[in-house]
Amino acid sequence: MQEQIQNILNSISEFVWGPPMLILLVGTGIYLTILLRGLQFRKLSHSLWLALVKRKDEGDNPGDITHFQALMTALAATVGTGNIAGVATAIAVGGPGALFWMWITGLFGMITKYSEAVLAVKYREIDELGTMSGGPMYYISKGLKQKWLGVMFAIFASIAAFGIGNMVQSNSVADAVQNTFNIPSEVTGIALAILTGMVILGGIKSIGRITGVIVPFMIVFYMLAAIFVVLIHIEHIPHVFQLVITEAFTDTAAVGGFAGATLMLTIRMGVARGVFSNESGLGSAPIAAAAAQTKHPVTQALVSMTQTFIDTIVVCSLTGFAILVSDVLETGVTGVPLTSLAFKTALPGEWGDIVVSLGIIFFAYSTILGWCYYGEKSVEYLLGVKSIRPYRLIFVIAVFIGAVSNLNLVWTFADIMNALMAIPNLIGLLGLSGIIYWETKNYFGKKNNEL
């Protein structure tokens, strides 16, 4: 029976994440790029400065957390197993050229993320508890006047939060801890549930403070390790870069344990894993953006779009290059073991496994925190503020269940929910693209009379 259900879910997942969905996701990014005249390229340096350098008193602005904390909360939810296992899977199945298509997805995904944040801040509300509430469910119902579509998004997001944002992540942590440190999954599950509860019971302000510390540390830690691997094999970089570009447009030949890949498979794996990693277009990140202390939607939107740049263009690229320069693709393994093999070529003894395992632990735990807030706001939209505390309690219990369970069905079901989230969100983005344009023009027009 379980096998039959799994097969049915696999078929549904392949359908909803098929070429039409990937074309719609990337196509929306291309359309918004044209509409906003390549804003993600023209304003990238300014956005990075706003996100990572500029510090000012934002306490007088409406919102719950700072620009930086909103960015870190969103990054917490996206920088996760997709940056380690997802990139490795894309390259192992689609070949080196898949990394190029991840870049394309990231570059166009930046403007999608920007647009989501503009709408999230513009249509946000103050709830009964005095905190900000926003995201696709609000800009779809208030902007498009399609409340039923906003309700559908909230339902899909609240379910996805327990899958891809909770049990799947705790399961990944439990596996990594057991395999590397020989600690039973039950112990890991209890510890993870307690740590999660200690943070999420304080709401977005607590989540923002913790992710503001954990996320920069975990990203820098992982980046330094990946950079070290790349530098050890620095003589291979020119060849690898050439390989990524050329094989992005040609079939990839089978070599060693690598079975080869057609051009269409290369594109599909790169785009699919890129979307899975940065979540641009899915509608999750604008829920965090809506909580930021900001006077104008565009200010936070510029900060938010750096999330996709950091996640895909920086972190995913480092993982991909570490794998390719270390020449482990021919081994035929995929996922986390492939990334571990790459790190082992440069790091002595068991340090390769330890670094990757620690990366998974921090990445997955931070994802749990970020997605808890996404699910909480979705449930609040559906059932009101009285649902928040019961939701948090159930979410903590689910963390433990995920750590000690077999989650094949949950993985696939959560993947389907992610795709279903994207549909109403993309309808909202396209339907409200005129609002995005005029908010952007209004912001930059006041400064220098340009879009």
The residue that leads in pLDDT, 55 or 112, is 112
Cα–Cα distances in Å, from 397 out to 107, 207, 271, 376, 385?
Answer: 37, 18, 34, 15, 20
Tell me the pLDDT band of 302, cut-offs 50, 70 and 90. Answer: very high
- Residue 256, sorted as left (phi over 0), alpha (psi -120 to 50) or beta, turns out to be left
Q: Which residues contact 34 (CB under 8 A, 6 or more apart)?
A: none
The residue that leads in pLDDT, 135 or 358, is 135
pLDDT of residue 202: 85
pLDDT of residue 448: 55
pLDDT of residue 60: 65
User: What's the whole-number mean pLDDT along residues 141-160?
Assistant: 95
Task: Count Cβ atoms within 10 A of the Cβ of residue 430 and give its class: 0-12 exposed, 13-18 middle, 19 or more buried.
Answer: middle
90 within 8 A of 273, measured Cβ to Cβ: yes
pLDDT of residue 263: 83
DSSP-derived secondary structure for 349-361: TTHHHHHHHHHHH
Tell me the pLDDT band of 449, cut-offs 50, 70 and 90. Answer: very low
304 within 8 A of 117, measured Cβ to Cβ: yes
Tell me the pLDDT band of 280, cut-offs 50, 70 and 90. Answer: confident
Whether residue 407 is predicted with pLDDT greater than 80 in this model: the reply is no
Q: CA torsion sign, 287 to 288 to 291 to 295?
A: negative
The one-character DSSP state at 293 is -
pLDDT, tens digit (0-9, with 9 covering 90-100), for 220-230: 999 999 999 99
The residue that leads in pLDDT, 449 or 199, is 199
Residue 322 three-state SS: helix
319 within 8 A of 102, measured Cβ to Cβ: no
Convert 96-124 to b/e letters by CB count within 10 Å (16 or more is b): bbbbbbbbbbbbbbbbbbbbbbbbbbbbb
- Helix ranges (H only) for 309-350 are 317-325, 335-344
CATH number of 16-441: 1.10.4160
Among 25-29, 60-64, 213-217, the least confident range: 60-64
pLDDT of residue 368: 92
User: What's the whole-number mean pLDDT along residues 58-73?
Assistant: 78
Question: Of 279, 319, 263, which is closest to residue 112 (Cα–Cα)?
Answer: 279
Whether residue 422 is predicted with pLDDT greater than 80 in this model: the reply is yes
pLDDT of residue 88: 86
Tell me the pLDDT band of 399, cut-offs 50, 70 and 90. Answer: very high
Give 363's Cβ-side CA count (13 Å radius): 29
Whether residue 23 is predicted with pLDDT greater than 80 in this model: the reply is yes
Whether residue 427 is predicted with pLDDT greater than 60 in this model: the reply is yes
User: What's the whole-number mean pLDDT along residues 136-146?
Assistant: 96
Structure tokens, 9: 């879910």
User: What's the whole-number mean pLDDT along residues 412-429?
Assistant: 88
321 within 8 A of 237, measured Cβ to Cβ: yes
Domain residues of the chain, as ranges? Answer: 16-441
pLDDT of residue 181: 87
Percentage with pLDDT > 90 across the chain = 48
pLDDT of residue 257: 62
pLDDT, tens digit (0-9, with 9 covering 90-100), for 363-378: 889 889 999 999 999 9
**N- to C-terminal Cα distance for the chain?**
57
Alpha-carbon distance 168 to 405, whole Å?
10
pLDDT of residue 56: 57
User: What's the whole-number mean pLDDT along residues 240-262?
Assistant: 78
pLDDT of residue 382: 96
The residue that leads in pLDDT, 168 or 239, is 239
The residue that leads in pLDDT, 58 or 427, is 427
Mean pLDDT of the chain: 88
User: What's the whole-number mean pLDDT along residues 4-22?
Assistant: 83
pLDDT, tens digit (0-9, with 9 covering 90-100), for 308-344: 999 999 999 999 999 999 988 888 788 778 888 888 8
Whether residue 423 is predicted with pLDDT greater than 90 in this model: the reply is yes
pLDDT of residue 64: 77
Give 95's Cβ-side CA count (13 Å radius): 24
pLDDT of residue 317: 94
User: What's the whole-number mean pLDDT along residues 27-53?
Assistant: 94
Whether residue 39 is predicted with pLDDT greater than 50 in this model: the reply is yes
